[in-house]
Structure 1
Amino acid sequence: MEPSEIRNAEHRTVSRAMGILEAVVANEPQGLRLGDLAEQVKAPKSSIHGLAKGLVATGYLREHQGRYYEGPGIALLAPGRMRLPANAHRILERLSLEADETAILAARVGESVINVDVVESSQVIRATPVLNQRRPLWPTSYGKIFLAFMDEAKSDAYVRRNFPDPERQEAVMAELAEIRKTGIAFNRAESMPGLLGLSGPIIGEDGVTFAIGVVGPSERMRGRDAELMPIVAAAAADISIPLTA
């Protein structure tokens, strides 16, 4: 293939990927089927299918019942665009007040997690999370929630890929099983020394759509599991109700 042909193919791929994104954004909230995408982008279904799957894998689109919708990754391109549950910020404020620590709402973007809303604690020394910045799923408590409740084959593949040691794989899978049982995930200073966090799943039409929790200095958070777990679980349930109604 001549260099000019390679460049043209690369440009066509970029144009089609951006065309898919633009079409989906323009057709929210009803979404688009693969055939609709192919028609709008004016490309064969076979070409569009792989690109759409890639955009789902990286979090820029999400697929539900054969339709493609905006994914949480869109928030990285246009902060503030993500549609959050109407009562989420109010419940974050309540959670922060009850726990006396910083409360966070997070979303999964491919194999990353991003903070989409934060209510900081009034404490002088507190956690100050950054919004709309990719972080790895493991070992964040929010990422552990998404891993625990995602499709089992995808979760297992992530664990095998990121933890090649068999003993470590077994430990991670055991922790994910415990999270599915309790509905609460912990990050005990695994991401950042001196910070401890816990979170719970928010259930929507597509399964676990967000995670909510609290984070704070280990000195204040340590030993409060029995107090904080029901508070976080209640906050998650309160946001889940309108999403599943």
Structure 2
Amino acid sequence: MNATAPNKDNPSAGGIEHRTVSRVMSILEVVIASEPNGLRLADLPDMLGAPKSSLHGLVRGLVANGYLRERHGRYYQGPATSLLALSGQRIPAALHHSLQTLANAWQETAILATLAGESVINIDKVESPQLVRASPPLHERRPMWPGSYGKVFLAFMSSARRDAYLRRKHKEPSTQRRILAELETIRTSGIAYNKAETVPDLYGIACPIRLGDGDVTLALGIAGPASRLEGRLEEVGQGVLEAARDLSTAVVEKQDD
């Protein structure tokens, strides 16, 4: 029997579960309301009427699943919160414009993806006008490895978080060494490739959108048939990298206004 399920021997268990849900939602509400300044963990007990010890684990869980993000000891809304009520109109115009520009320039599908916990989620796309093209689904969680976007997020993730992920998901030491070597190359170049590692005959190229000193949680990229991309990977990669850098600068400057 589940010890936390409400029953005659444990009449308060349901109340404990309800209290946990209430606290999680309250944390999200007060942190979102605090934007753009964010909140410290020390701010939460007084605001929510709960002890810091009971909130700390909940906050860590929300960060791990992408619903909050932490930067310099303050907590902010994470990318996964937008998935609770996401629509195309919620994507900032500058981001969608970059996708349109990339798709027009390379005649391939341009994609914007976010990191949510240990998952990659496509949140916007502009499809190629070509008859044969990549058409990835939106708003679905996908594993980080070996997708090009997941490679970007792993490459620019804190070493502690990255290593914890590898210990859980890729336990073979030889596999870990191979992944780490590729991630180091991505950190140096700023470009990640997926050469038909996820879907046969489909290539992906992704680059980070850098919005500060913390982990990268947004990436921009191109996907298309191997027959069209194989011979121009470096050229397209540099184009995506330039677009991602320009977009990073534009978004940061807007946040600073």
TM-score of the two chains, using structure 2 as the length reference:
0.89
- CA pair 211-82 structure 1, distance change in 2 beyond 3 A: farther
Deviation string for 1:16-74 (max 9, x for gaps)? 11111122223322222223322222111111111011100000111122222111111
CA contact (8 A) 1:105 1:115 kept: yes
Q: Residues 112 and 136 of structure 1 are in contact (CA less than 8 Å); yes or no, is this contact kept in structure 2?
A: yes
User: Is 1:125 paired with 2:125?
Assistant: no
Please tell me whether the aligned partners of residues 213 and 232 of structure 1 are also in contact (alpha carbons under 8 angstroms). Answer: yes
Tell whether 2:242 aligns with 1:234.
yes
User: Which consecutive residues of structure 2, in runs of 5 or more, have no partner in the other structure?
Assistant: 4-8
Deviates more, 1:76-85 or 1:51-60: 76-85
| CA displacement, residues 159-211 of structure 1 (integer Å, 9 cap, x when unaligned) | 22211112111111111111111111011112212211011111112442411
Tell whether 2:240 aligns with 1:243: no
What one-letter code is carried by the residue in structure 2 that aligns with 1:62? R
Query: How far, CA to CA, are the matches of 2:222 and 2:208 in structure 1?
Result: 13
**Following superposition of structure 1 onto structure 2, how do residues 164-243 of structure 1 map, counting pairs within 5 Å?**
164-207=171-214, 208-243=216-251
The answer to whether the 8 A contact 2:79-2:217 is kept is: no
- Do residues 68 (structure 1) and 75 (structure 2) align? yes
- Alignment gaps of 5+ in structure 1: none
Distance change (3 Å), C-alpha of 1:25 and 1:81: farther
Taking only aligned residues, the RMSD between alpha carbons, in angstroms, comes to 1.8
1:9 paired to 2:16:
yes
CA displacement 1:201-237 (0-9 Å, x = unmatched): 1111244241111001112111211221111111111
Q: Is the 8 A contact 1:159 1:173 kept in 2?
A: no
1:145 to 125, 128, 152: 152
1:86 positional shift: 4.4
* d(CA) in 2 for partners of 1:110, 1:78: 18
**One-letter code aligned to 1:36:** D
Percent identity over paired residues: 53
How far, CA to CA, are the matches of 1:97 and 1:15 in structure 2?
46
Compute the TM-score of the two structures, normalised by the length of structure 1: 0.93
Give distance in 1, aligned partners of 2:117 and 2:182.
Answer: 21
Residue 160 of structure 1 is matched in structure 2 by: 167
1:38–1:45 contact (8 Å) kept in structure 2: yes
Distance 1:88 1:141 in 2: 19
Distance 1:117 1:206 in 2: 24
Specify the alignment match of 1:55 in structure 2: 62
After superposition, the C-alpha distances for 1:113-134 in whole angstroms (9 at most, x for unaligned) are 1111111111111111222211
How many residue pairs get aligned? The number is 245
Question: More deviation in 108-117 or 79-88?
Answer: 79-88
What secondary structure does 1:3 align onto?
coil
Counterpart residue type for residue 8 of structure 1:
G
